[in-house]
Amino acid sequence: MSAPMFYVSPEQQVKDRAEFARAGIARGRSVIVQRYRDGILFVAENLSQSLHKVSEIYDRIGFAAVGRYNEFDNLRIAGIRHADIRGYAYDRRDVTGRMLANAYAQVLGTIFSAVAEKPYEVELAVAEVGPSPDQDQIFRLTFDGSIADERDFCVMGGAAEQISAALAETYTVASLPQALTTAVRALASDPGQDGPVGVEAIEAAVLDRDRRQTRKFARLSRAQLAAVLDPAPPGPTSPPARQPRRRAGTGTDQNGQHG
């Protein structure tokens, strides 16, 4: 016996689906994408060293995501393929962040409005470092395919509002160490966070305009992060940075499902 079908208005349907996606995203820890003097900085709160939230897409293009790992990793791989095939068929300079952001918006929008599908519980940022600072671009994409062009920074994830407010107060176009410090401090304004975010819980990468290679994306190693974030050698007297605690009611965050 099949379940009886009821009429659901499109407004209600969209509302329900958006609520579902938002709830999924809110379970995850946050990511900041911001401009700094020499390019774009990605900072994510992430305990895993191998399940990345930040990734390289192309020469000048980086990707950051929050939400369900399997869903955004699919999108990440699709983006790499899209970019590589474009660059191979035409020229490397013909691959742009805007093109990629548009492709993502199409896919997310289609999935969101497909009734038979559950919406993706992800939020993405596509950033491109330009030849000069005024050509840097940060696009933010939400689960429903909406796309926004962000000026200086964007924050995604569970505590996006609080972190965004904290970052807005301190943000300036700064050098890399300063930008990194500001971003990590802003991440600690997550209400589920009791204390500063330790180096072991930070994943960071840059799109460095001045990098010698054509590929401008570079991950910052733990050692590089530690050199900036806790310059004093850790002694027995220094208070250890606490591990980020999961917020109440995050039952599904067992194996990095919601990053």
Partner 1 sequence: MSTSLFLPPAGPPSALEMAAADTSSFTQFVARVQPSLLRAGGPANLTADALAPRATTIVALTTAEGVVMAGDRRATMGSMIAQRDIQKVYPADEFSAIGIAGSAGLAVDLVKLFRVELEHYEKIEGSPLTLDGKANRLATMIRGNLGLALQGFVVVPLFAGWDSQAGRGRIFSYDATGGCYEETGYSSVGSGSVFARGALKKLYRPDFSTAKAVSAVVQALFDAADDDSATGGPDLARRIFPVVIAVTAAGSCQIPEAEVAKVTDKVVASRQRRPDGPEAKL
Could you list the residues that contact partner 1 (CB under 8 A)?
50, 52, 55-57, 74-75, 77-78, 80-82, 84-85, 87-89, 102-103, 106-107, 110-111, 114, 116-117, 212-213, 215
- To partner 1, the closest distance from the beta carbon of 170 in angstroms equals 32
Helix (H) / strand (E) element for 164: namely helix 160-170
- To partner 1, the closest distance from the beta carbon of 57 in angstroms equals 7
- To partner 1, the closest distance from the beta carbon of 56 in angstroms equals 5
Closer of 151 and 212 to partner 1 (Cβ)? 212
Closer of 45 and 56 to partner 1 (Cβ)? 56
Does residue 55 contact residue 203 with C-beta atoms inside 8 Å? no
- To partner 1, the closest distance from the beta carbon of 67 in angstroms equals 16
Closer of 51 and 226 to partner 1 (Cβ)? 51
Cβ neighbors of 217 (< 8 A, separation 6 or more) are: 56, 61, 62, 205, 206, 207
Closer of 115 and 248 to partner 1 (Cβ)? 115
* Placement of tokens 């204390």 in the chain: 195
- To partner 1, the closest distance from the beta carbon of 165 in angstroms equals 33
Give the chain's radius of gyration (CA, Å): 19
- To partner 1, the closest distance from the beta carbon of 20 in angstroms equals 17
Helix 69-89 / helix 97-113 crossing angle, nearest 10 deg: 140
Closer of 13 and 243 to partner 1 (Cβ)? 13
| Separation between Cα atoms, residue 144 and residue 162, nearest integer Å | 22
Identity of residue 85: I
Identity of residue 194: D
Closer of 93 and 151 to partner 1 (Cβ)? 93
203 phi and psi angles, rounded to 5 deg: -115, 125
Angle of CA points 138, 141, 142, to nearest 5°: 145
Distances (CA, A) of 138 to 30, 39, 151, 242: 16, 11, 7, 31
